[in-house]
Amino acid sequence: MKFRNPIVKGFYPDPSVCKANDKYYLVCSSFHYYPGVPLFESDDLVNWRQIGHCLTRQSQVYLENIESSGGVFACNIRYDNGRFYMTTTNNSTQQNFYVWTDDIYGEWSEPINVDQGGIDPSFYFEGNSTYFMSNGIDENGRNSIFQCEIDIETGEKLTPSRVIWHGTGGRYLESPHLYKINDLYYLMAAEGGTEYGHMIIYARGDSPYGPFEAYLNNPVLTNRNLGGYEIQGVGHGELIQDHHGNWWIFHLGFRQIGRWIMHHHLGREVFLMPVTFHQDKWFTVGSDGTTQDEVEIMHIPNTTKQIEQTQYTFHNTKWDIDWCYLRYPDKANYIAQESELKLRSSLITLDMANSPTFIGLRQRDFHVEISCEIRVNDGEAGITLYMDENHHYDFALRKSGNTIEAIKRLNIGDIKSIHKQSIINSNIATLKITSNHETYSFQVISDGKVIDLGFAQTRYLSSEVAGGFTGVVIGLYAQDGTCSEFNDFNDFICTYLDE
């Protein structure tokens, strides 16, 4: 079978996977977006469908006034004795915690805190013992992986936290995961930072506490030396064995805009590569330790077909699964129906680290065509290409008295400017955005007339410009009104085009 990477496109970083009841489950970081921690299910490791989120109540996670790229960092999902566990860090409160559920399609528990610092927490279960690990800095200032044992019912530490590995010396040692394979314990982690130098490393030992011997040819997977190659930033890996005994590694990576344009704006995505264990019980990834965009492998039968959804509408998406909010939404400002969305303009704007009236879908590919018919009744209503509160392109209808304007506003750091605007004769118009790798183009269709409002470069919404750990989210929003009337959004269509 041949499949293409990434297997989950768009801003779904830091994948963690587990296997249960003949299916596979995957979770990703969500940062300041709500609900938190997207949850996916798969039958074959290649095709993934989102089935919910792990953090769906305000009591589970604190996101109030958290700036972009704060909040929920990398997470880890495990299945043990009939129960699912998801552990993560709220980096804004510096707290590691976990939630659990007996029903993967239902609600998750209230959070249980663990008194161990660092980020990227992970579980390892063996017998009646629960091992909890995260990264940190030891007393000598060295990057380290710390581990303790906890009472899984209460989160109470049963042993002191101790250093079990210092990695290979690369910067930002993170994302530890522990596995028992062939009677050996494998500790996998990442180094180099979640940027162009990212890499996956591992070591093995005879006990969960080591000592761990590093793989001689670390890093086992990295694209850091592939200049001019689309897939970069490969790291943060997770091993899993499929139903047929084959091993795989899930990991994050990103696709840069162009062969020699070192910017990425779609966020960090989910990639899959095959793993081979050798007679000496060390493993390698792929054929050369790099991640490719196309993988042909005999482990997956040819009857399996990689299916990709290419169009998203109000009709074929679910408001509580596919869409997301910025922090906790004020639900009084939203009326979400099967074929129509109504948004009440808020005094909270997209520039604020709060919760504007906003609901979004992650941008999943470079070539996309977005259109929506909008009726503005109060303030400003439109589509935003949102990276963070300081980097977003807003395309909207704006009502001021009896005047209706179509505007394109560019927000790039401290520069916030209405780049182009046009007075139209109606408060109803269709807004259309078309993008390729390098540009977004903007058109207004009103009374049968097409008004071109120019273009903007995608690179200014990239992580290299904006910083942070997220990706562009296509948002529908309303702001700067009297908070008295709703604005209407109809016929939303987001179509990904062949490249």
What strand order describes the sheet that includes 95-101? Answer: 72-80, 83-90, 95-101, 112-114
Q: Percent helix, strand and coil across the chain, each rounded to 5?
A: 5, 50, 45
Q: Which two tokens stand for residue 187?
A: 């500790």
Phi, psi (deg, nearest 5) at residue 45: 75, -15
pLDDT at 339: 84
Asked whether 73 and 29 are in contact (CB, 8 A), the reply is yes
Question: Is 21 exposed, middle or buried, given 0-12, 13-18 or 19+ CB atoms closer than 10 A?
Answer: exposed
Distance, in Å, from the CA atom of 32 to the CA atom of 452, rounded to the nearest integer, reads: 34
Question: Would you mind telling me the total number of residues written for the chain in this entry?
Answer: 499
Sign of the dihedral defined by the CA atoms of residues 298, 300, 301, 304, in that order: negative
Q: 333: which DSSP letter? A: G
* 360 token code pair: 């979004």
pLDDT value, residue 482: 86
The single residue of 22, 43, 149, 174 carrying the catalytic annotation is 174
- Going residue by residue through the chain (499 aa), what tens digit of pLDDT does each one get? 899 999 999 999 999 999 999 999 999 999 999 999 999 999 999 999 999 999 999 999 999 999 999 999 999 999 999 999 999 999 999 999 999 999 999 999 999 999 999 999 999 999 999 999 999 999 999 999 999 999 999 999 999 999 999 999 999 999 999 999 999 999 999 999 999 999 999 999 999 999 999 999 999 999 999 988 999 999 999 999 999 999 999 999 999 999 889 999 999 999 999 999 999 999 999 989 999 999 998 888 888 899 999 999 999 999 999 999 999 999 999 999 888 999 999 999 999 999 999 999 999 999 999 999 999 999 999 999 999 999 999 999 999 888 999 999 999 999 999 999 899 999 999 999 999 999 999 999 998 899 999 999 999 999 999 999 999 999 999 999 888 899 999 999 999 998 6
174 belongs to the catalytic site: yes
Under CATH, what is the fold of the domain 2-296? Tachylectin-2; Chain A (2.115.10)
Query: DSSP letter string over 153-187?
Result: TT--BSS--EEEE-TTS-SS-EEEEEEEETTEEEE
Whole-structure pTM over 0.85, yes or no? yes
CA distance 149 to 310: 45
Tokens of 175: 């994302």
Q: Which CATH number among 2.40.110.10, 3.40.640.10, 2.60.120.200, 3.40.190.10 corresponds to the domain 311-496? A: 2.60.120.200
Give the model confidence (pLDDT) of 129-164 as tens digits: 999 999 999 999 999 999 999 999 999 999 999 999
pLDDT for res 50: 98
User: What phi and psi values does residue 57 have, to the nearest 5 degrees?
Assistant: -130, 145
Catalytic, out of 14, 378, 480, 488: 14
Separation of alpha carbons 177 and 79, rounded Å: 14
Identical topology for domains 2-296 and 311-496:
no
Q: Give the integer Cα–Cα distance in Å for 254 and 231.
A: 6
- 466's enclosing H/E stretch is helix 463-466
Coil, strand or helix at 465: helix
pLDDT at 499: 67
DSSP 198-247: -EEEEEEESSTT-PPEEPTT--SB--TT-TT-SEEEEEEEEEEE-TTS-E
What are the sequence ranges of the domains in the chain? 2-296, 311-496
pLDDT attached to residue 204: 98
